[in-house]
Amino acid sequence: MQRRTEIPPTAGLPLRWRDLLPRPPRLAKRAASFLGSDDALLTCSGSAALVIALRALHAMAPSRREVVMPGYTCPLVGLAVRRAGLEPKLCDTEHGGFGFDPRQLEATCNERTLAVLPTHLAGRVVDVATISHIAGNAGAFVVEDAAQALGARVGDDSVGMQGDVGFFSLAAGKGLSIFEGGLLVSRRPDVRRAMGDVQQPWRLDWELRRSAELLGYAALYHPHGLRRAYGDPLRRALARGELVQAVGDDMPDGLPFHRVGRWRNGVGSAAIGRLPAFLAAGNHRAARRLPRLRAIHGVHVFGDGPGQHGTWPYFLLRLCDRATRDLAMDALWTGGQGVSRLFIHAMADYPALGPIPGDVPNARDFAARSMTISNSPWLDDVTFESICRVLERVARARP
């Protein structure tokens, strides 16, 4: 099916022209109050936030150099660990999921472990308490990767506030965006002080580039603009068979590290005022569509456990096998309906990351069977229903 419009793969908060007017740079303060944190540190990306967190923690525990991450996560996490001068290490995920397998985590942590990174993918909340217990037994810190979960809560608390540190991403498409940005929080005053000591240099070249990119994002982040800005490059990459490029998993040349300028800070300060209502509408839409998706035979949709109040940037699905998932993607990926894949590979399989120790068969299996459906407000009921029909058809066609 060919359309003239493109639904974004995730529900990003659209900017308004008024957001672009100069105003006081209060993003960190407003984000902290939204998160229920005493304060928050604004950084130039989620990855940069992780670099700062790890440098601060390493200064507090200099003999520990290993950072344990799930076998299925954003490849930038591996890059950020290396950029902090530390050693990434993989722990396999539980079978059929994306969270740490607790038994493997126990076997992976030791006196060399600096930090463990529970990761709230797709707005879903993972069980930080169990992970903290295991990390604590090894004397390691817990850094919550909440890059995809700004606004998700456990009971009354935001994700990111249970571990020693939490970070969020403000990259394009991840809910609230200043094109590239990040937020760091910690409930521990000593950790906050150590993170505040990490200098973020001012780089006019990077800030000008990001400001231009943010203007482009504000102008093109709607179904017509996205057709050219996102859909056409996606279809070209898929036609070349370059899946990693298609989902934007490819590695940047380095990780820029600089302070966010006043103007972009002000844009975020304005937009964050609309975030609670936008997330609530997304929750509402998701609650309405989940039963339909869950009625499809052979499709598992990840949701919330008791006490978990996740956000819904997109639906994360696991199908019964790779062949069925690939059939679904063949039918849906290039159609502009907001269907995509999350990370293409398990972390062990990105050539650009080089070898990372850790055996991750479950993460590979998850990469082979998972796919995503946007929860953008631009995905209408008719299109959503047509996606469900395709999923029903491929499930039936399964050998």
Ligand X SMILES: *Cc1c(COP(=O)(O)O)cnc(C)c1O
Residues that bind ligand X (CB under 6 A): 45-47, 73-74, 76-77, 119, 121, 145, 147-148, 169, 171, 182
Which of 240, 144, 123, 225 lies closest to 188 in space, CA to CA?
Answer: 144
User: CB under 8 Å to 13, separation ≥6 — which residues?
Assistant: 175, 176, 177, 271, 274, 275, 278
Q: Which is nearer to ligand X, 147 or 394 (CB)?
A: 147
Give least dist CB 358 to ligand X, A: 17
Give least dist CB 83 to ligand X, A: 11
Q: Are strands 153-154 and 157-158 parallel, antiparallel or unpaired?
A: antiparallel
Give least dist CB 345 to ligand X, A: 14
Q: Which is nearer to ligand X, 259 or 292 (CB)?
A: 259
Give least dist CB 261 to ligand X, A: 16
Q: Which is nearer to ligand X, 32 or 171 (CB)?
A: 171
Q: Which is nearer to ligand X, 118 or 266 (CB)?
A: 118
Asked if residue 312 lies in contact with residue 150, where contact means CB atoms within 8 angstroms, the answer is: no
Question: What is the per-residue burial (b if ≥16 Cβ within 10 Å, else e) of 25-59?
Answer: bbbbebbbebbebeebbbbbbbbbbbbbbbbbbbe
Give least dist CB 254 to ligand X, A: 12
Q: Which is nearer to ligand X, 181 or 335 (CB)?
A: 181
Residue nearest to ligand X (CB): 46
Q: Which is nearer to ligand X, 132 or 169 (CB)?
A: 169
Structure tokens at 61: 């525990």
Query: How far is the first Cα of the chain from the last one, in angstroms, to the nearest whole number?
Result: 25
Asked if residue 173 lies in contact with residue 9, where contact means CB atoms within 8 angstroms, the answer is: yes
**Total Cβ atoms within 10 A of residue 183:** 28
Give the total residue count for the chain. Answer: 399
Give least dist CB 147 to ligand X, A: 3
